[in-house]
Structure 1
Amino acid sequence: MANTKREKLFTEFPPVPTEKWEEVITADLKGADYERKLVWKTGEGFNVRPYYRAENLEGIRFMGSRAGEFPFVRGTHAHNRWHVHQTVKVECPKAANEEALKLLNAGVDSLGFCIAAESFSAADLDELLREIRIPAVELVFSGNRMADVAELVLAKLEKEGVAKEEAHVSFCIDPLVKGLTQKGTFCSPNGEKCFGRIADLIRRTAGYKHIRVVTVSGHIFSNAGSTIVEELAFALAAGHDYLVRLQDAGLTVDEAARKLRFSLNITSNYFMEMAKIRAARLLWANIVKGYNPAKECAGKMFLHAVTSTWNQTVYDPYVNMLRGTTEAMSASIAGVHSLEVTPFDRSFEDPGEFSKRIARNVQLLLKHEAHFDQVVDPAGGSYYIENLTQSIAAEAWKLFLEIEEKGGYTEAYESGFITERVKASAAAKDKAIATRRQILLGANQYPNFNETAGSEITRAVVERPAAEGNTLAPYRGAMAFEEMRLHVDRSGKAPKAFMLTCGSLAMARARAQFSCNFFACAGIKVMDNTFFKSIEEGVEAALASKAEIVVVCASDDDYAEAAPKVKELLAGRAILVVAGAPACTPELEAQGIMNFINVKSNVLETLKYYLKELGI
């Protein structure tokens, strides 16, 4: 009976071929350009269609594989259980231990220890790990003198007789990415000393299946402004360089690959980040396979993810919680070994107990209430996600091969190729933010009108660090706007922009809202008004408000008469701005009206101009 009903239902809805969809879309566009209106030209080097169908999966070679099967697109295991990771800064081992014990009772099962002190002894390690059962938790060490710390940790494991299969430890030793991007050079000629010591640590940990010696810090590229494709390609190239160097040191590809850990950034590009993680597993599996490992599982990518700092804002900072949540969703849906959600206040202060709690609770919600850990690769089979995965993989592989043609990661980096690529991508992103083609909520769009910077927001927090020589410096995309706004907040002045709404009510209100958001991005106090019945009434109210800027908000048809009249009545007592780009602009400019703001404006440069005019 049920089958009969189902058959009848589907006979009522016959399949619609793609050609019919395209005919309807073309008709709805009414002559508008299909490519310009509907095709997303990403910054990753490929275009995204407005829709995808089953036929778009044809030719995707990795389709049909399961989680835990080569090439591991759908995951390295047949489950989606990730570790909730949180990092503790270690300045005082005793205090760090106390914090770590609290985290273990709050849902964290992957502890990160960032060694900030210049010296760190065996006694310090004992104090740091006091009452922490090593087999019960994953440990990740980063920070200063990592090779020395690794020696101390291994000595402790041996001394305490921890079973080799029960030690889950990773070290963030990374001379290729972290070392080169921060210093521009190795600690020894061609890194021979560094890689010799890494090879020794790998040999020493040969019996420890769950110890990772090297962490490829791919997140560094993303936080310096790279694209998603660049972050992935550069991380893979660095990982491959490690494989080559470690095999040259006498290790097998299996021994080397099993000791690598990758750390990638997760931005707010929701679906693209899911696809990136899936593509990362695919490409790494094929890179390792090229060396004919003894076991196929050597190509499983051991992947840690951390939510982005590049898109965090210091104004309206609670929005960072929302960013971290969607980013954590991308990572958990795509499947990772471990995940760290960056506390929302990290960009302007040492994270407090509240922000750390919210950060880890994001993951606990995804696990225990959304049950994301009970579904393996839910994005698998999606026409859209599978095509994104294919496109990212293709572009990243193309860039990876370009790096290989230059001699590999080290040669490409030392030649300046990688830093030039990242800096060019960062500059493109900066321009997109300045012109609002890319939105950072609270910074370049929809700012909190009533917010002023607190004492925790200092110039150092909003000033972009310089990258000297062939190095990369992490920064945040909102910094240029934040630096400008902080300058206004600390100027001792309170500039005002008055909205003179007249003419067509609907257009006046729309343009007033646009203009309020525009000027508030610089910390200029906006004075919105519903509507003025006459221009004389509006100008009188504007002058009474003592606003330094008066924005006339009306329809394009109203401006030819309204703007000159406002200019005449203002008589130079305030800066006159016209909201929009009316056809009569040349006529208005001929009458001395020179200031216009619209959706095509470079918001950052325009606001800087007005602040300069105001003497700020």
Structure 2
Amino acid sequence: MSNQKEKLFTDFPPVSTEKWMEVINKDLKGADFQKRLVWKTNEGFNVNPFYRAENIEGFLSARNLPGQFPYVRSTRKDNVWYVRQDIDVKDYAEANRKALSLLDKGVTSLGFHLPKNNLSAENLKVLLNGIAPDKVELNFRTCISKTHELARLVVAYVTSQNLDLLKCFGSIEYDPFRKILKKGVDVPNWMDDAAEMVKITASLPRYRSISITGNLLNDAGAYSYQELGFSLSYANQLLGALVGKGLAPSLAAKKIKFELGVGSNYFMEIAKFRAGRWLWAEIVNAYKPPCPPYIECENTATDGTCLCAAKMNIHASTSRFNQSLYDPYVNLLRTQTEAMSATLGAVDSLTVRPFDEAFETPSEFAKRIAVNQQLLLKEEAHFDKVTDPSSGSYYIETLTVSLAEQAWKLFLETEEKGFYEALKAGAVQDVIAASSDARFNAVANRKEILLGTNQYPNFTEKMAEKLADPKDHSCGCGTGDKTALKPLAIRRLAEPFNTLRLATEKSGKTPKVFMLTIGNLAMRLARSQFSSNFFSCAGYQIIDNNGFPTVEDGVIAARNAGADVVVLCSSDDEYVELAPKVFDLLKGGKEIFVVAGAPACMDDLKAHGIEYFIHVRSNVYETLKGFNKRLL
């Protein structure tokens, strides 16, 4: 048997890249390889249709193992991540009951959002009753003005439990720039506040106290390299400031936690987490943080540098940016693939956002499903049993390096001014706003797809009555501050289409779109499907047909159906004769006439008076916005 296997390999000699390219170019029949098969990413680099072993020769990860500096493959040898769910604390006893229930359901990390007005040791004791700090990751957040007080309470509580503090893990989240990013409000004394947070939490070695909220950039529409590059500059600004305040680099670095979003660009997101760990390790290593002399560590470099300090701690959250109001169960598909990217990318903890978050306070059912999505990855797919399965993939390894290069370039550009100064000048916000606008334009033109929103929507679905009134969850801190800076513009990618659909619902009238299908069978069916999909994006009623023998029959049927829009679906050649006929028959009526396609005779048809054409190059959103204006 072994001889037979050996013979098989000799029967199929290796094929060179040049030979592959010869075959590809032959199949392209003269078409441009770069234009037809190379993907030009939004991250600023191109992706080829295939990669080979030669493409990753010399790559760092090829000789790197999980848990080894610079941690491309992971900061640990296993892939056990914390399943996190957050609790908005209003009543401490009730929040405790919720927390214990979540722990019974498989949650291993709790995030408590605490009110600023009644922080006390007694309330914290009620909140954490029955919860073991050495068995569950505990994360706390409150108004920035009360974060130091909260930190002291948490440190006092955990140290009073007589536990091994090296087994107690979590965070008290202080983010000095969150107020700028969310409200445009400056915090001038952030250096002192950040240094104080590190000092307060120093006695809890596994508690992080400085949060880098890159997920806010993600939610505002940043591309992966921007989220990563700006987050690294964000963190380096803080690390440099803490060291400047006299804190040990190793202590300061170990107090920093990255909160990153995870979007739907599946392989790119895996690469983002791998690249992020690598770049952060190099940044921290440049500070040469020494290991404390009283600790024997296996992860100390020959020069005494603490390599553990260079480990990036990542909490990932599935993206708010791409969650949709309509067809909300599609959000389950989005968050599931995002969760897969995050866990395959070896994040430390993960929050999956409930699928109904876009239109209501998440229901208990939606929150339970969000937890189960992670449990399925652990218990059914066994994602926690393999560390960095993407290692060795020519494609993902190349993405990792390419993304790291782009993020590093942005990092260096931002460092010239400093992240804080760039924020105050609005430079970071402007760059991300430009990316967001580009993505909104791509959705409007269907170059970026949101299933159920701008592609294959369910036009019978109604959501206006389910839409809850938006609630202000802010603490009011900084309201009315005269030092107004530019905040991030955070909105969901589906919002323009949501606005169209809601306008249709609230108008009390559902426009009827009639497909007048005639002529060439293949073309009329294809264009009817395209047009139905197009107009459904505004929630219009679609009336499709199998075809008409004459345009007269089609027009009569359209009027009998009470059509508001009549779409002619046929072939380009037939439009020369059919389109003017239909247009003339409809003259004087209330119906809007539309031709599906962009035929060569379009100019002639326009000269005849035909105004509306829909095709693959149409801006779907702007076109439907115009129809809404006329019909509603």
What is the TM-score with the length of structure 1 in the denominator? 0.95
Of residues 562, 565, 570, the one that matches 1:554 is 570
Q: Secondary structure at the match of 1:305?
A: strand
Q: Say if 1:459 and 1:483, in contact at 8 Å, map to a contact too.
A: no
Q: Say if 2:171 and 2:209, in contact at 8 Å, map to a contact too.
A: yes
**Counterpart of 2:204?**
208
Question: 1:198, CA displacement in angstroms?
Answer: 2.9
Q: Say if 1:91 and 1:117, in contact at 8 Å, map to a contact too.
A: no
**Counterpart of 1:356?**
367
Q: Match for 1:135: what amino acid?
A: D
1:149-185 deviations in whole A, cap 9, x for unaligned?
Answer: 1121112123333432232120221013x13212334
| 1:470 counterpart = 2:486 | yes
Q: Match for 2:23: what amino acid?
A: V
Take 1:599 and 1:438, find their aligned partners in 2: how far apart are those partners?
13
Q: Say if 2:85 and 2:110, in contact at 8 Å, map to a contact too.
A: yes
Q: Say if 2:61 and 2:73, in contact at 8 Å, map to a contact too.
A: no
| 1:591 counterpart = 2:608 | yes
Map 1:200-599 to 2 at 5 A: 200-294=196-290, 295-406=306-417, 408-457=418-467, 469-573=485-589, 574-599=591-616
Take 1:518 and 1:283, find their aligned partners in 2: how far apart are those partners?
43
Take 1:563 and 1:272, find their aligned partners in 2: how far apart are those partners?
45
Unaligned runs of 5+ in 1: 462-467
| 1:125 counterpart = 2:121 | no
Q: Say if 1:580 and 1:596, in contact at 8 Å, map to a contact too.
A: yes
1:396-428 deviations in whole A, cap 9, x for unaligned?
Answer: 00000001112x211121122101100000010
Q: Say if 2:424 and 2:485, in contact at 8 Å, map to a contact too.
A: no
**Counterpart of 1:464?**
none
Question: 1:74, CA displacement in angstroms?
Answer: 0.4
User: Taking structure 1 as reference, are residues 552 and 427 closer, same or farther at Cα in structure 2, changes over 3 Å only?
Assistant: same
Q: Say if 1:333 and 1:378, in contact at 8 Å, map to a contact too.
A: yes
1:350-406 deviations in whole A, cap 9, x for unaligned?
Answer: 111110111111110110111010001000010000000000000000000001112
Map 1:102-251 to 2 at 5 A: 102-116=101-115, 118-144=117-143, 145-176=146-177, 178-187=178-187, 189=188, 191=189, 194-251=190-247
Question: 1:609, CA displacement in angstroms?
Answer: 0.8
Q: Which moved more, 1:158-167 or 1:298-307?
A: 158-167
Take 1:271 and 1:104, find their aligned partners in 2: how far apart are those partners?
31
Q: Identical aligned pairs, as a percentage?
A: 49
Question: 1:469, CA displacement in angstroms?
Answer: 4.7
Take 2:324 and 2:21, find their aligned partners in 1: how far apart are those partners?
41
Take 2:630 and 2:620, find their aligned partners in 1: how far apart are those partners?
15
Question: 1:460, CA displacement in angstroms?
Answer: 5.2
1:136-156 deviations in whole A, cap 9, x for unaligned?
Answer: 211011232322211211121
Take 1:204 and 1:174, find their aligned partners in 2: how far apart are those partners?
15
| 1:63 counterpart = 2:62 | yes
Q: Match for 2:490: what amino acid?
A: P
User: Taking structure 1 as reference, are residues 532 and 459 closer, same or farther at Cα in structure 2, changes over 3 Å only?
Assistant: farther
Q: CA RMSD in A?
A: 1.4
Q: Secondary structure at the match of 1:451?
A: coil
Q: Which moved more, 1:303-312 or 1:144-153?
A: 144-153
Take 1:88 and 1:527, find their aligned partners in 2: how far apart are those partners?
46
Question: 1:570, CA displacement in angstroms?
Answer: 1.3
Take 2:581 and 2:58, find their aligned partners in 1: how far apart are those partners?
64
Question: 1:510, CA displacement in angstroms?
Answer: 0.6
Question: 1:24, CA displacement in angstroms?
Answer: 1.1
**Counterpart of 2:20?**
21
Take 2:586 and 2:185, find their aligned partners in 1: how far apart are those partners?
61
1:43-74 deviations in whole A, cap 9, x for unaligned?
Answer: 11111111111111134344311001111000
Question: 1:531, CA displacement in angstroms?
Answer: 1.3
Q: Which moved more, 1:103-112 or 1:202-211?
A: 202-211
Take 1:113 and 1:378, find their aligned partners in 2: how far apart are those partners?
32
Take 1:320 and 1:372, find their aligned partners in 2: how far apart are those partners?
21
Take 1:92 and 1:427, find their aligned partners in 2: how far apart are those partners?
40
Q: Secondary structure at the match of 1:499?
A: strand
**Counterpart of 2:297?**
none
Question: 1:17, CA displacement in angstroms?
Answer: 0.7
Unaligned runs of 5+ in 2: 291-305, 472-483
Question: 1:201, CA displacement in angstroms?
Answer: 3.1
Take 1:123 and 1:204, find their aligned partners in 2: how far apart are those partners?
20
1:420-468 deviations in whole A, cap 9, x for unaligned?
Answer: 100000010010010000001111111012111241225859xxxxxx8
Take 1:505 and 1:108, find their aligned partners in 2: how far apart are those partners?
55
Q: Match for 1:382: what amino acid?
A: S
Q: Match for 1:444: what amino acid?
A: N
**Counterpart of 2:302?**
none
Take 2:354 and 2:116, find their aligned partners in 1: how far apart are those partners?
22
What is the TM-score with the length of structure 2 in the denominator? 0.93
| 1:601 counterpart = 2:618 | yes
Take 2:60 and 2:191, find their aligned partners in 1: how far apart are those partners?
36
Take 2:17 and 2:168, find their aligned partners in 1: how far apart are those partners?
54
Take 1:432 and 1:459, find their aligned partners in 2: how far apart are those partners?
29
Take 1:105 and 1:402, find their aligned partners in 2: how far apart are those partners?
47
**Counterpart of 1:40?**
39
Give the paired residue count: 602
Q: Say if 1:90 and 1:117, in contact at 8 Å, map to a contact too.
A: no
Take 1:597 and 1:92, find their aligned partners in 2: how far apart are those partners?
55
Question: 1:131, CA displacement in angstroms?
Answer: 1.7
